[in-house]
């Protein structure tokens, strides 16, 4: 059996994928046409050629600009459905996708338009593709805590559609503590909590420390820099906290696939998982991320199985459902 066949047939879970980061160049064009939007690019190939990311802000500016083609509930439905189809084709059977409502409400798109389109795709994907999912609403950390709080209140009528909240976008000078009140309220509403601690960001060890001690997160997105502090590693392992690592994304944003770091996490008993982050932009879905670890860091089948098992284990699916996969 080839490594690719092994990776393909393994039932997998994805816990760190931004739905807006699954917007493929071809889809940007079809949505622009349908919505009467003029693009500065002439072909999908020109769009891909413009993907020149070297750090988080250079990625984010392209990511937010492209979203302008998403306007109607059907657009959000299609965005999510196209991702779920790709997930199904790679035998990703369970997903906890992120979405960024503030990136849409700030353009005049109603919160309900966004979440209703995504939720309808989740139902259809479960029924027709067998891909189950639970949605995580992310706040943009470079916007105010007040805006985050307002969006959390918008979500109160949709709690049946959400499993948790997250925190993403530009991390520089936007620490977890800025959102302590909003996340406390989210927990009171019964939501799980996760936050990005992006690789090699300013003040990153303080950010990870605040996630643990102030926010009491249920998971950490990325979190690779915890390895620089033994006490953080010990605490993350003791709590059994999942870390959603995104190798190909890291290769783009910080020029490091983080293969050695992922091995180090496993050796320390930290529950690392492998994820695609923004697969349309980094040109790699789940299987391409796993294969990058095989090809560029000599990962073994055993290591890939451990990472995949970790994802089911630290996921927020019901304990009853987990027994199907563990
Ligand atoms: N939003 C989408 N992808 C992101 C990433 N990798 N880091 C922070 N915010 C994001
Ligand atoms: Zn991310």
What's the ipTM? Answer: 0.97
Q: How many domains would you assign to the chain?
A: 1
DSSP state for residue 190 in the 8-state scheme: T
Distance 195 CA to ligand 1 centre (A): 11
What is the tens place of the pLDDT at every residue in 75-97? Answer: 999 999 999 999 999 999 999 99
Positions at the binding site:
16, 18, 196, 277-278
In a domain, 6, yes or no: no
Distance 20 CA to ligand 1 centre (A): 10
pLDDT of 14: 99
Quote the CA–CA distance of 303 and 288 in Å, as a whole number: 16
Q: Could you write out the DSSP letters of every residue in 211-253?
A: IIIII--SEEEE-GGGGG-HHHHHHHHHHT-EEEE-HHHHHHH
In a domain, 281, yes or no: yes
CATH of the domain at 310: 3.20.20.140
Domain span at residue 68? 12-317
In this prediction the pTM is 0.98
Quote the CA–CA distance of 93 and 253 in Å, as a whole number: 27
In a domain, 305, yes or no: yes
In a domain, 61, yes or no: yes
The tokens for 88 are: 């199904």
Distance 169 CA to ligand 1 centre (A): 5
In a domain, 194, yes or no: yes
What is the tens place of the pLDDT at every residue in 33-89? Answer: 999 999 999 999 999 999 988 899 999 999 999 999 999 999 999 999 999 999 999
Q: How many beta carbons lie within 10 A of that of residue 324, not counting itself?
A: 11
In a domain, 95, yes or no: yes
Q: Whose CA is nearest to atom 1 of ligand 1?
A: 169
Atom of ligand 1 nearest to the CA of 249: 6
Quote the CA–CA distance of 298 and 175 in Å, as a whole number: 35
């Amino acid at each position: 059996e080839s490594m690719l066949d092994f990776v393909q047939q393994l039932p997998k879970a994805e816990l760190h994928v931004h739905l807006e980061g699954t917007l493929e160049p071809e889809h940007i064009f079809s949505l622009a046409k349908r919505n009467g939007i003029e693009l500065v690019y002439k072909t999908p190939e020109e769009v891909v050629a413009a993907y020149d990311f070297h750090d988080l802000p250079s990625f984010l500016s392209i990511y937010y600009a492209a979203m302008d083609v998403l306007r109607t509930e059907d657009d959000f439905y299609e965005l999510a459905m196209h991702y779920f189809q790709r997930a199904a084709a790679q035998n990703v059977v369970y997903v906890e996708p992120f979405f960024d409502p503030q990136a849409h409400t700030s353009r005049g798109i109603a919160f309900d338009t966004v979440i209703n389109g995504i939720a309808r795709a989740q139902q259809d994907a479960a029924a027709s593709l067998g891909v189950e999912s639970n949605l995580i609403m992310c706040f943009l950390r470079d916007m105010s805590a007040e805006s985050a709080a307002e969006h959390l209140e918008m979500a109160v009528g949709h709690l049946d559609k959400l499993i948790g909240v997250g925190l993403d976008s530009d991390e520089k000078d936007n620490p977890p503590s800025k959102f302590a009140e909003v996340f406390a309220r989210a927990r009171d509403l019964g939501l799980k909590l996760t936050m990005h601690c992006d690789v090699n960001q300013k003040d990153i060890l303080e950010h990870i420390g605040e996630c643990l001690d102030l926010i009491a997160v249920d998971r950490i997105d990325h979190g690779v820099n915890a390895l620089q502090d033994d006490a953080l590693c010990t605490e993350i392992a003791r709590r059994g906290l999942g870390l959603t690592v995104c190798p190909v994304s890291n290769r783009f944003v910080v020029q490091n696939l983080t293969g050695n770091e992922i091995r180090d996490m496993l050796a320390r008993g930290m529950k690392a998982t492998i994820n695609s982050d923004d697969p349309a932009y980094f040109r790699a879905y789940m299987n391409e991320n796993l294969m990058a670890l095989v090809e560029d860091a000599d990962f073994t089948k055993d290591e890939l199985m451990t990472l995949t098992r970790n994802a089911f284990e630290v996921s927020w699916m019901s304990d009853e459902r987990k027994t199907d996969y563990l």
